[in-house]
Structure 1
Amino acid sequence: MTRTLCALGFLLLLSRLNLVFARHTPRSCQPHSSRSGSCAVAVAAVGSAPSAPAPATSTNASSSSCFPSAGFIMPSSVPSSTDGWWCSPNTEYAFLGFSYEVTACQSASKLNSDFADIKNTFGSRYVRLYGACDRNGFYDDIVNAAWDAGLGVHALIWFGFDGTNQWMTRRDSLVSSLTSNPKAKFVTRGVQFGSEPLFDNVLPHAQLASQVTSLKSKLSGVGIPVTVSELAYGYQERGGAQDVLNAIDFINIHMLPFFSALATFGSDAWPLVETDMNWFIQHGNGKKMYFDENGWPSVTSSGVQPNSMLAQSSVANEEGYFSMLDSHCEDLKSLGPQGGIGWFAHIYSDDQEPGYGIYNNAGTKKFPFKPRTSC
């Protein structure tokens, strides 16, 4: 099967009126029984890595490594500068961490527990926030939990699905936290301006590009870059939206081959991954790339339906997909710009988004998951 056929099949798939990635339909705002806290259709802060941070030095911590590498030891006090703090993008390939859904508005203790597990059990370097919590001070709780665990954060400005302007309040709240919390710039690798905003057509792409540029200006004082979290097709259906690709500092990619009309098994999804990856390489002007909303579901629900008769949602296929990515570690490292492509597992637990979690609703791993963090 040629890459061209893969691309055509995927585009035809996504253009079907009955697809619209039903998993993104509005949530009922009823927390799952295993969640604690209130449910909100509020926005979450999401960030990502700077396109060209300074080389790591040992001036800010007692370890010779950089943040958030495995051997990094958090300093006892907040450093005076981020100079030499962040690891180079060239080191950020292979498995990076998890998408983490925050609609439950997790308590500070829950965040601390989950982030410690994400770091210590899986060797993660980052969490990528998904969904939204509008509780006052919630992102400060995220910052504190990330600092304590030694994790970086890809923050998110969530648009939601109701077409309101609530995202503006979320944007302003996040900016306030990022510019006032002294720890925020040391754990926030970047901010994602929406999750599939192009695919959902929440703003014309020219306006989205303008908003990205404006946000970059507001965060320039704390050195936090800005991106958009999006499907390849989200750009393609807007004529490529090259203005958005030009505006963002790095590229966060939704990689969900289960929905392709050409999908078969999770373990065989590399040609579909490669097709979208190559599109971003061709249009991304050498910017750093991450697969952030990235996975294969283990169960089918009303919002998660395949578009291929051969595609099945199962634990075996979910495991097979991540094992496939692991087996292509060298390809992702060599093919992606700036040291290769890093990837997240979407999502941490099934109680956050049913079927996509590494943990099930009972808090047990659905399969052995020890992905490579280097190769």
Structure 2
Amino acid sequence: MPDYIPDTTDDWWCPYADEYAFMGFSYEVTPCQSRDRLTREFKDIRESFGGRYVRMYGACDRDGFYDDVVDAAWEAGVGVHALIWFGFEGTDDWIWRRDALFNTICENPRAKFVTRVVQFGSEPLYDYVLPPDELAAQVRAAKEVLNPLGVAVTVSEMAYGYQAHGGASSVLDAVDIIDAHMLPFFAQDAGTASASWPLVLRDLDWFFANGGGKKMYLSENGWPSQTSEGVQPNSPDAVADVENEEAYYTLLDARCPYFKAVSIGWFAHIYGEYMEPGCVFFLFG
């Protein structure tokens, strides 16, 4: 980062075509990490793993938390894919979370220089949080606020979430980019992670056919190393263990030329074992 705050985000971000393959980690903020811990772990993502971004997951409702995220990202030299968290309780808390996030992005002078995109998520279509047309309206309203600052807006969702709503074309039309969840472990016909590439391609092909050629990231993406409540396979042949988790990321890494050719970036879910046990290989597997 420069030692001054630029006047504009024009030509600030790398072109989308240059962002492909491994981008960084999903990072759960439910623990409400301190600014010091955010800075330390963001630097680890940047320096130890070459990550370019941190993709937020979950929610911390502490006042000023996203200011801490912004300052930590600035110091670490990473961008942020921010998230408006809906949760699983069916409340309207996402509304004030949205407003608080937008206020920080608009008022913190560093925020627009680290916030690459704001995501509505996670999986609001699959969870039936809002009807597609209402979600699309939220995306369009957010774009009016954030696009002038150079911040893109999207929805973090798996292909099935769109398919369950007949394709939810209004949402795909509204988003600036596509943040696709890629979790082949949960497929009805899943087997081993090393054999999961056809499952990845199946969802990618759906987004290619329906996404209007928009930039795509695999935002929530991985293979668990253990099962738990809510993390159960839908196929008797899918196994959650460290070996399969490693095999999944090895599979993706080996296809870097493919991701470069189609300009798709992917995140590893998730950074720390203390966030979601059984969902991290790189650090503690």
- Matches of 1:365 and 1:220, distance apart in 2: 38
For structure 2, list consecutive stretches of 5 or more residues without a partner in the other structure: none
Give SS of 1:76's match: coil
Counterpart for residue 248 of structure 2? 321
Is 1:308 the counterpart of 2:227? The answer is: no
Query: TM-score, normalised on structure 2?
Result: 0.98
The structure that is helix-richer by fraction is 2
Is 1:229 the counterpart of 2:152? The answer is: no
For structure 1, list consecutive stretches of 5 or more residues without a partner in the other structure: 1-73, 367-375
**How far 1:205 sits from its partner (Å)?**
0.4
- Matches of 1:301 and 1:308, distance apart in 2: 15
Is 1:76 the counterpart of 2:25? The answer is: no
1:258-279 superposed Cα distances (whole Å, 9 cap, x missing partner) = 0112111111110000000010
1:32-71 → structure 2 map (5 Å cutoff): none
Counterpart for residue 77 of structure 2? 150
Counterpart for residue 264 of structure 2? 341
**How far 1:358 sits from its partner (Å)?**
2.9
Q: Give the counterpart of 2:50 among 81, 102, 123.
A: 123
**How far 1:355 sits from its partner (Å)?**
0.8
Q: Give the counterpart of 2:284 among 343, 365, 368.
A: 365
**How far 1:139 sits from its partner (Å)?**
0.2
**How far 1:352 sits from its partner (Å)?**
0.6
Conserved? CA contact 2:23–2:265, under 8 Å: yes
Give SS of 2:180's match: strand
Q: Which amino acid aligns with 1:270?
A: W
Give SS of 2:125's match: coil
Q: Which amino acid aligns with 2:265?
A: G
1:234-253 → structure 2 map (5 Å cutoff): 234-253=161-180
Conserved? CA contact 2:26–2:54, under 8 Å: yes
Conserved? CA contact 2:24–2:266, under 8 Å: yes
Larger radius of gyration: 1
Conserved? CA contact 2:23–2:53, under 8 Å: yes
- Matches of 2:183 and 2:191, distance apart in 1: 13
The structure that is strand-richer by fraction is 2
Conserved? CA contact 2:21–2:265, under 8 Å: yes
CA RMSD of aligned residues (A): 0.9
Counterpart for residue 273 of structure 2? 350
Is 1:163 the counterpart of 2:80? The answer is: no
1:6-38 superposed Cα distances (whole Å, 9 cap, x missing partner) = xxxxxxxxxxxxxxxxxxxxxxxxxxxxxxxxx
- Matches of 1:348 and 1:285, distance apart in 2: 31
- Matches of 1:302 and 1:105, distance apart in 2: 22
- Matches of 1:228 and 1:183, distance apart in 2: 23
**How far 1:219 sits from its partner (Å)?**
1.5
**How far 1:346 sits from its partner (Å)?**
0.3
- Matches of 2:264 and 2:242, distance apart in 1: 25
- Matches of 2:58 and 2:229, distance apart in 1: 19
Counterpart for residue 272 of structure 1? 199
**How far 1:223 sits from its partner (Å)?**
2.0
Query: TM-score, normalised on structure 1?
Result: 0.75
- Matches of 2:56 and 2:208, distance apart in 1: 24
- Matches of 1:324 and 1:194, distance apart in 2: 26
Q: Give the counterpart of 2:38 among 111, 114, 117.
A: 111
Conserved? CA contact 2:84–2:120, under 8 Å: yes
Give SS of 1:214's match: helix
1:8-47 → structure 2 map (5 Å cutoff): none
